Amino acid sequence: MAKTPLNEILGAELKTLEEKNLLWKIRQLQTASEPHSQVDGKKVLMLCSNNYLGLSNHPTLKKAAIAAIEKYGAGSGSVRTIAGTMDLHIKLEETIARFKHVPAALYFQTGFAANAGSLPALLAEGDLALSDELNHGSIIDGVRLTKATRAIFKHKDMGDLERVLKETAGKHKKTLIITDGVFSMDGDIAPLDKIYALAQEYGAYVYVDDAHGDGVLGDHGRGVVHHFHLENKIECEMGTFSKGFGVVGGTVAGSHELRKFLLNKSRTFLLSGSAPPATAAACIAALELLETDDSFVKKLWENTKYFKKELSSLGFNTGESETPITPIMLGESKLAQEFADEIFKEGVFALPIVFPMVAQGKARIRTMMNASLSKEDLNFALGACERVGKKLKAI
């Protein structure tokens, strides 16, 4: 039977995406992720990295990674459950638990793996997965892999959450309310205190994805749970090392029973090679650094408040952001892509976020604040945004 070559099918779909201005334009980072980086051969101010605290190139983390390579080599040689659990991995999990003020934690290779592996393990047939409508794609995919019944509540709408809890009361073995701590596109914070109160009232459990809260919210960057003073009350606290902590990897923190259960039941943990020694050592170093020094977090928020205030004074709309994620709301995908291209010419690297990552008509430039940026850096970026905004009639 004759068939259309796969490359032709994919090519046609790509052409459609291109016509709708929905294709990603990948630029190459050719230096370390620093405020002043080289991208596509051009020196630019980095304004779109998740490296909130500037730790990815911190001397302490680099020294720890190099020492780990010298002692342990480049890789672990196995999955964690066979021969790939080094003492470094155990120390990392103990450090995560200490930093988060919880009994135990399990480390995954990525944040996506943490969600994609933990949610299917925790949710069985007869359970209910109750998810905020704007949760991250890794949560959506994780829930899709479960056999649980699924329900969605309107974004941060506690009335709608309570409605679903009332309608489903007594109909499932267990209900797991799942929410981002900080929503990655708009930078708004989940009302975790209110979510917890409703969970207590209706006998539900809470799973919070704190990828963009780690290193950003709470005392010394301990995250959204600490921000709301809910330590040891939220059953499942997921996080990542690839953003505020400057390395890579995911984690789920909570009880000893939670750790042991996921270690035995999560496929992404069981069937993936363990993190390289250098990665584990750098993650440990990041947490130990923040335990003793909160200046990184304070500087991050100082920069965030200044940049938001100045953007607003120029006439830009920064949406619902409450965190260092600072969107410049532009509306149309084509305008967002043109804006990103123009500020790159001005020496500022910030990417457009367009459909389907955000809804149609909600395209934006998503800027990310960084503790390593100076006031001069911020003013340079603001000047570029002002010039381009006026040129494109965005302000």
| Exposed e or buried b per residue across 28-42, where buried means at least 16 C-beta atoms within 10 angstroms of its C-beta | eeeeebbbebbbeee
Name residue 106's beta-bridge partners. Answer: 252
User: One of 156, 226, 243, 299 is an active-site residue; which one?
Assistant: 243
Enumerate residues 6+ apart whose C-beta is below 8 A from 52. Answer: 215, 216, 243, 244, 300, 324, 368, 369, 370, 371
1 C-beta neighbours (distance < 10 Å), count? 2
User: One of 56, 118, 184, 274 is an active-site residue; which one?
Assistant: 184
Measured in residues, the chain has a length of 395
Cβ atoms of 148 and 124 closer than 8 Å = yes
Q: Is 37 a catalytic residue?
A: no
DSSP 45: E
313 C-beta neighbours (distance < 10 Å), count? 10
Q: Measuring CA to CA, which residue among 274, 302, 294, 276 is closest to residue 374?
A: 302
Q: Is 33 a catalytic residue?
A: no
Q: Classify strands 236-240 and 205-209 as parallel, antiparallel or unpaired.
A: parallel
Q: Classify strands 42-46 and 104-108 as parallel, antiparallel or unpaired.
A: unpaired
Q: Which two tokens stand for residue 45?
A: 């101010």
Tell me how far apart the alpha carbons of residues 137 and 125 are, in angstroms, rounded to a whole number. Answer: 22
Q: Is 265 a catalytic residue?
A: no
User: One of 89, 212, 220, 226 is an active-site residue; which one?
Assistant: 212
Integer angstrom CA distances of residue 280 from 33, 163, 360: 19, 43, 40
- Bin 341: left if φ > 0, else alpha if -120 < ψ < 50, else beta: alpha
Which residues are known to be catalytic? Answer: 184, 212, 243
